[in-house]
Amino acid sequence: MTVRRIAAIFDIHSNLPALEAVIEDVRRAGVDGIVVGGDVLPGPMPVETIDALLALNIPTQFIHGNGDREVLASIRGGDSSAVPEQAREALRWVALQLSSQHERVLAGWPPTLNVEVDGLGEVTFCHATPRNDTDIFTRLTADEALLPVFDGVSARVVVCGHTHMQFDRIVGGIRVVNAGSVGMPFGDPGARWLLLGPDVEMQRSRYYVEQAANRIRATEYPQAESFAAINVLQPPPEAEMLETFTRAGLK
């Protein structure tokens, strides 16, 4: 089945005010469906965010990100040594907020998803790359490093996230588009997402960041203050994060 128009929303990180702004814009766009591209979690408003997504009356499909996977592992008693201690505290807090029903929902999210989109053909959605949910690459990553990663992908378009910066590039004949981040953007404040069909349109939903920061500060999330200050009110500059991810990324 081919869908006419679909919204791709990635890396919400339980920033409910940002998600609410995106959903308003998605409804106005008249989409046939939504793909949630992973990292709904962790973040300051996890229960409210998952419940808002599950309550949508627009057909919605999910894939998991590394954040969702780590939260699920924490629910089940795991504690990843690969995650910094400060992040582990947040994971544990989020895990304690979620119900057994939420656990079952998270466990059902696949790593990738293929959708036929009008004007684009087959589109593969993955959190980081088609091979895993942790690979780091940006618009500056050399083609030579990416060709093996996308080798064997049959889709004409791949939509990813993970690094929270939008881009649109060609890798070995495949159009690779990063949706950006709804809840933890870099650069100017605002929630980023994509509108697919018949082409790819990068979107930015503006919302009242001061009010959002106050709502986040009112939660008991262990990193509420820093999340409000850094991820909502004054996100890091894109140039700074490109430099950071270039050092840590695929080579």
pLDDT digits (tens, 9 = 90+) for 79-126: 666 677 778 889 999 999 999 999 999 999 999 999 999 999 999 999
Q: Give the pLDDT of residue 81.
A: 63
For the chain, the helix, strand and coil percentages under 3-state DSSP, each to the nearest 5: 35, 20, 40
Q: 96-104: long-range contacts at Cβ-Cβ below 8 A with a sequence spacing of 24 or more?
A: 97/46, 97/47, 98/46, 98/47, 98/50, 98/71, 99/47, 102/47, 102/50, 103/72, 103/75, 103/76
Domains belonging to the chain, first-starting first, are 2-248 (3.60.21.10)
Strands of the chain (E only): list them: 2-3, 6-9, 33-36, 60-62, 112-117, 121-126, 157-160, 167-171, 174-178, 191-196, 200-205
- Residue 175 is given by DSSP the state E
Cα(50)–Cα(40) distance, rounded to whole angstroms?
7
pLDDT string in tens for the chain (251-residue length): 789 999 999 999 999 999 999 999 999 999 999 999 999 999 999 999 999 999 999 999 999 999 999 999 999 987 666 677 778 889 999 999 999 999 999 999 999 999 999 999 999 999 999 999 999 999 999 999 999 999 999 999 999 999 999 999 999 999 999 999 999 999 999 999 999 999 999 999 999 999 999 999 999 999 999 999 999 999 999 999 999 998 989 98
Of 200, 234, 229, 203, the residue nearest 216 (C-alpha): 229
Query: What is the residue whose two structure tokens read 């684009």?
Result: 120
